[in-house]
Structures are given as structure tokens and as C-alpha cells.
Chains A and B, each alone.
Chain A
Amino acid sequence: MIKFENVSKQYNSGHTVLKNLNLHCKEGEITVFIGPSGCGKTTTMKLINRLIDPTEGKILVNDKDISTISPVKLRRSIGYVIQHVGLFPHMTIADNVAVVPRLLEWEEKKTQKRVDELLEMVKLAPNTYRNRYPSELSGGQQQRIGVIRAFAAEQSIILMDEPFSALDPISREQLQDELIHLQKDIKKTIIFVTHDMDEAIRIADKIVLMRSGEILQEGTPEEILRRPANDFVKNFIGKKRLAQYEVIPESEEVMTRKPVTILPSRGLAESIKIMERKQVDSLIVVDTNDRLQGYITIYDVIQQFRNESKRVGDIMHTFEHVISPNTLLNQTIDLMDEHKLPYIPVVKNDQTLIGLVTRGSIVGHLSDIYSTNGNEGS
């Protein structure tokens, strides 16, 4: 959707703001640029609507080099929300929202309809607010108008430059929620600049962390929190936030790696033998490729034992709950607790069984942590 290819920006004074930037912002995703002030995040964003032109490299929007599009035309096709709202004080709310449609010379009827539609989208009754002036609205309401103004001409790309930073914490969270909610329906490609890590984690599909004109790390919030690339990223994210994620282990660390399994084609007598040998009361059924099929318990086997024709596959139950190797332990525990599960299989995306989280394995994991801590303390 938006591609940066070897983009650099240098000012006449020789000061370099961006160094050889390569980046891809995917369609329908919220990409958040974050970093300390002066890191080049706002500059990067303004390159997209040509408020700033790069010194080197090119930027492609929908595979088209934007240096070939006139800035005015380009900007009308890209929504823009700025930090200080920037509503035009001499225009009514309706006129403010209608700015781009009118620049594009839409039919007046269509424009009015669109304005009402947008006002309703952010729950400001059109009849009440249409003819008010920006100064008659609260800060939060003003920025709602700022946001819908950027959507007015059905632009598919929206740039947002620290749009909520001037708001009080409560309105800020409200607007973040509204944006997330809105994005579910409208699926715009949004470039969002912020310096607030909480905000980034909350709304981003992808976070691009920058410093001194370079990208330090990019990835989903989860990836960045789990695997910060270096100490700067760690510091920027903050110990507190990292701690939340570091302390809670993933299921992969907790599971037993060698659950006792059986093929569905095996007989019941054989399954009893295995249970006896391994000292377990149930077996996980997998196919020859280790794909999870279900499970059998000792009770099922005893009940059906007389029927020699029955195979494991005939009497097995399927699992209602499975987890991925990245599922956090707290989520796993919640799941086991809620459904009273003695154990829960860990599978990869293709259903390949890789382990089993059991009550025993959890206790084992916890004892590992606490005994280590105990040793350190003494």
C-alpha cells in the first residue's frame, strides 16, 4: 500500500533527519510510528502526503511513485488528522467536515449526506452539531470532528499526527477505543504517529520504532514487547510494560514435550498396555504426521473393551480447547480453570501436536522459578 524505498531526508543545513528508510505499510492496517522527539517519525509521515519531499529515494502509494502526483491532488486523496486539531474556526462543523468533498467538487447533496453520516458515526447528533462552530465544542468533540474530517472523502489512507496527545487521559482513551472500533468497520490504511507507548500498543497492528532517523525495530506490539531488539527499545518501552510480558511464560515453556500418544488405528488392548506402561489414565490420539485427533481415557477403554472390533479412533473424543505455543500461561490457566480441564494440548497452526500443558507441568514450572529465586536470595 505505502512503500518507502531507500528514503533519506537531509535539510539544507546538512542536518540529516532520515537515513535510508525502507518500510512497508500494509493495506487496512494501523501502522504506528513511535520514538522520542526528533526521531523523524513525523517527517516520515509527512513524506506520504508530500508536505515534505525526500532528498533521496522514493515513496510508492498503491505502487505509484508519489513524486509524479501533484501535491494538491495527492493530499486530497489522503486523510490528514493533526495534533492540534486544526479545525477552521470560521467554518461550521458541517463545513469543516465537508472541506475535502467540496475541494473535490462533490455534489452538494452527497456532501451533506456524507457529513451527517460521519457525525452519526462518532455519535454527535447532526441536527445539534451541524451548524455549531468549533469553539463551541469540547476538546474531545473537536478532535472527533478532526478525525471524521479526514475520512470525509472516503480516502483509503489516513495520516494521524499525534491526534490524541493534547487531550485529557479520559477523552484520549475514549477516542482510542472509538478509533479501534471504527477501524473494524472501515479498514483504512492508517499511519499513526505518537510518542505514547501505551497508545501504540493499544491501537497498532504494526509498530515502527524509530530513533535519529532510523528504524530500530518494526513488528506487531506483541513481537516488540516480547523481543525488544536492543537496550534502547527496552528502555523506550519501559521496564514496567516489559515486566508484564516477561514474567508470564508462554505455554511452550510450561508444557511437557513428550505426551503419551497413540494412533487411531490401534486396538484397545494395546492402548491399555501403553497406559499401564506410562502410568497415565488417558492417551492423546495423533495421526502418523503427529496431527492432533483427540483423546481416549481409561474409562472409555474399559467400557468398550469387550468389543474387539473397536479401534482407538472409534472411541476417541475430540478436544474442545487447544492452545498455541505462544499462548500465555495466565490465559492457559484461565482456560483450564473455566472448563475444568486436567490438561490442554499445545498445537502448531497446522494442528501438529507439540506438547501438553498439565497441572503437573505448571507446578513443575513454578517450582523451577521459585527455587531459582530462593537460591539467588540466599
Chain B
Amino acid sequence: MDYIKIFATRGSDLWSAMIEHLIISGTALILGIIVAVPLGIYLVKTKNTWLRSIAFSITNIFQTIPSLALLAILIPLIGIGKFPAIIALFLYSLLPILRNTYSGFKSIDESIIEAARGMGYDGKQRLFRIELPLAIPYLMSGIRLTTIYIISWATLATLIGAGGLGELIYGGLSVYDKPLIFASSITTMILAIVIDFLLGALEKFLTKQTTSREQSA
């Protein structure tokens, strides 16, 4: 019974923690998209192979650092609070988005690019009218995956004082408040599931013209 009641008694705490959680994850994600998508596009277009491998290596390194370690190492560098947490999550988001953007653009049939060039699309028109729409399925799946990661890792961000749902989970753990642990964890899970579902719907909406048609044929 306690497990249900807790949602009523701590409802406003849970709600504000969830909003905080969303802000942290959302900011990190948007930053990640702003940096990784253009970078990914640039890496596809550039003939500079070493630049490409450097970019991938660096983002790869961020991805391999254990999340707790990455959060910890940011404390001496930029202190504690929301900002370092967002930076850490942003660094995590880079690789999956970058890699999916890159493979999304790489997956476009050469002949389509050549046709677009040969028919007289200029660079910008080609990017926005042809390449981007065709790469969207890959891009979206990268973003979707990253979002789920970020939402789960954001629970750790409380360790450097960022707040969010993690704060309630750790708070509950430290005093062994089982209903609170339960409620905050469930909220995190539901948040992840709902966001994933929404992004999935968005992905379907954006890609229904290309992929679904192709599959049906």
C-alpha cells in the first residue's frame, strides 16, 4: 500500500525531479544533436580521412570512459551541479549520434547522389532535399538510442549535485526508504519508455514515406 501512497505524498517531489531530469537529459541531447549531426555530415563529405578517424577516436574514448568516472573527473575541472552533468551526458551522446549520422549519409546510394548532382541540385539543396530526408531513419534511430542512454545515465548525475530523479533514488537508498526507491525508479523507467515511444512515433512519421514503402515493395 505504501508503494502506491508514496506517489501521492511525494508526488510534487517526483514531478519536479522528473522535470529536472528531463531538462538535464534534453539539454545534453540537443547539444549532442547540434554538434554531432553537422559534424557527422561534414565527416561524410570531407576527403580528409585522418580527420575522420580522429573524430571517431575521440568520441569513442568518451563513450568508453565509465560514466561514474567521467562525472567524477569533471568535478575538479568544472565543479559540481547541473552544468558538468550536462557536459558529461553531452559527451556521451556524441558517438552514437555521430556514428548514426555518418552511416545514415553513407548508406545513401551513390547513384542517387550522382543523379542529384547531375540534375543540377546545388550543394545545399542536395543536402536538405535529398540526403537529409534519406538519412533520417538512421539519424532518428541514433537519437532514439542516445536518448534512452542519457535518461538512464542522468540518474547518476545526482552524484555531482545535478538533481533529477537520481537524487530521489539515492536519497531513498541512503535511508532505505523502499517505497521512495520504488516510486523514483518506476518514474525513471516510465519516463524512458514514454520518451522512447514518442521518439518512435516521430521516427515513423518522418520516415513513413521512404522505409515503409520500400519494405512493402
A80 lies within 8 A of chain B by Cβ: yes
- Among B119, B122, B134, B213, the most chain A Cβ lie within 10 Å of the Cβ of B119
Q: Are B125 and A103 in contact (CB under 8 A)?
A: yes
- Residue contact A49 to B118, C-beta cutoff 8 Å: yes
Instruction: Kindly specify which of A27-35, A84-92, A213-221, A361-369 makes contact with the partner chain.
Output: A84-92
* A99-B119 CB under 8 A given contacts A82-B111, A85-B111, A133-B209: yes
Q: Given A89-B134, A89-B214, A90-B133, check contact A82 B115 (CB 8 Å).
A: yes
Interface string of A6-29 (1 = CB under 8 A from B): 000000000000000000000000
Q: Which residue of A lies closest to B110 (CB)?
A: A84
Q: Do A75 and B115 contact each other (CB < 8 Å), given the known contacts A90-B134, A133-B209, A135-B213?
A: no
- The 0/1 profile, CB within 8 Å of B marked 1, for residues 69-95 of chain A is 000111111001011111111100000
**New A-B pairs, 16, CB < 8 Å, besides A73-B120, A87-B112, A149-B119:** A74-B120, A82-B115, A82-B118, A86-B109, A86-B111, A86-B112, A88-B134, A89-B210, A89-B214, A90-B133, A90-B209, A103-B119, A133-B213, A135-B214, A135-B217, A136-B213
Kindly state the separation between the CA atoms of A86 and B209 in the bound complex, as whole angstroms.
17
Q: Which residues of A contact B120 (CB under 8 A)?
A: 72-77, 100, 103
Say whether A248 faces chain B, with CB atoms less than 8 Å apart.
no
Contact B130 A88 (CB under 8 A): yes
A159 CA to B209 CA, complexed, in Å: 29
Q: A51 interface residue, CB < 8 Å from B?
A: yes
B207 and chain A: residue at smallest CB distance: A90
Q: Mark B108-143, 1 if CB is under 8 A from A, else 0.
A: 010110111111111001000010011000000000
Q: Nearest-CB distance from B206 to chain A (Å)?
A: 10
Beta-carbon contact of A89 and B112 below 8 Å: yes
For residues 95 through 115 of chain A, which have their beta carbon under 8 Å from a beta carbon of chain B?
99-100, 103
Which of B115, B116, B130, B217 is most buried by chain A, counting CB atoms within 10 A of its CB? B115
Q: How many residues of B contact A (CB 8 A)?
A: 22
B134 touches A75 (CB 8 A): no
Contact at A83–B111, with CB atoms within 8 Å?
Answer: yes
Q: Taking A135-B217, A136-B213, A136-B217 as contacts, is the C-beta distance between A80 and B118 under 8 angstroms? A: yes
Instruction: Please tell me which one of the listed residues A86, A100, A133 contacts residue B114 in the complex, with CB atoms under 8 A apart.
Output: A86
Distance between B207 CB and nearest chain A CB, rounded to angstroms: 9
Q: Please indicate the chain B residues that have their CB under 8 angstroms from the CB of A80 in the complex.
A: 115, 118-119
Q: Enumerate chain A residues within 8 angstroms of B119, measured Cβ to Cβ.
A: 75-76, 80, 99-100, 103, 149
Main secondary structure, interface of B, reads helix
Q: Is the Cβ of A72 less than 8 Å from the Cβ of B133?
A: no
Determine the residue in chain A with the shortest Cβ distance to B133. A90
- B111 partner residues in chain A, CB cutoff 8 A: 82-86
A103-B121, A133-B209 given as contacts; is B214 within 8 A of A88 (CB)? no
| A75–B130 alpha-carbon span in the complex (Å) | 17
> Count the A-B residue pairs with Cβ separation under 8 angstroms: how many?
69
Q: With a CB–CB cut-off of 8 A, which chain B residues contact A159?
A: 118
Instruction: Give the shortest distance, in Å, between A50 (CB) and chain B (any CB).
Output: 10
Minimum Cβ distance to chain B for residue A277 (Å): 72
* A-chain residues with CB within 8 Å of residue B112 when the two chains form the complex: 86-89
CA distance A100 to B209 in the complex (A): 21
User: Which chain A residue lies CB-closest to B214?
Assistant: A135
Contacts of A73 in B (CB 8 A): 120
**For chain B residues 74-132, which have a beta carbon within 8 Å of chain A?**
109, 111-112, 114-122, 125, 130
The reply to whether A88 and B115 form a contact with Cβ atoms under 8 Å apart is: yes
B115 surroundings in chain A (CB, below 8 A):
80, 82, 86-88
A74 surroundings in chain B (CB, below 8 A)? 120
Q: 11 A-B residue contacts at CB 8 Å?
A: A74-B120, A75-B117, A80-B118, A82-B111, A82-B114, A82-B115, A88-B115, A89-B134, A133-B214, A136-B213, A136-B216
Q: Mark B179-216, 1 if CB is under 8 A from A, else 0.
A: 00000000000000000000000000000011001101
Given the complex, which residues of A lie within 8 Å of B121, measured CB to CB?
72, 103
CB-CB contacts below 8 Å: B137-169 with A: none
**Does B210 contact A90, Cβ atoms closer than 8 Å?**
yes
The answer for the CA separation of A149 and B134 in the assembled complex, in Å, is 20
Are B117 and A51 closer than 8 Å at their CB atoms? yes
* Complex CA distance for A89 and B216, rounded to whole angstroms: 13
CA distance A73 to B125 in the complex (A): 13
* Residues of the A chain whose Cβ atoms lie less than 8 Å from the Cβ of B133: 90
Partner of B118, one of A75, A84, A133, A135: A75
Shortest beta-carbon distance, A140 to chain B, in Å? 15
Query: What residues on B are CB-neighbors of A88 within 8 Å?
Result: 112, 115-116, 130, 134
List the 9 closest pairs (A to B, CB-CB), nearest first.
A86-B115, A76-B120, A84-B111, A75-B120, A80-B118, A135-B217, A86-B111, A90-B210, A133-B213
Q: Report how far A90 CA is from B137 CA in the complex, Å.
A: 12
Name which residue of chain A comes closest to B122, CB basis.
A72
Shortest CB-to-CB span from A346 to chain B, Å, is 49
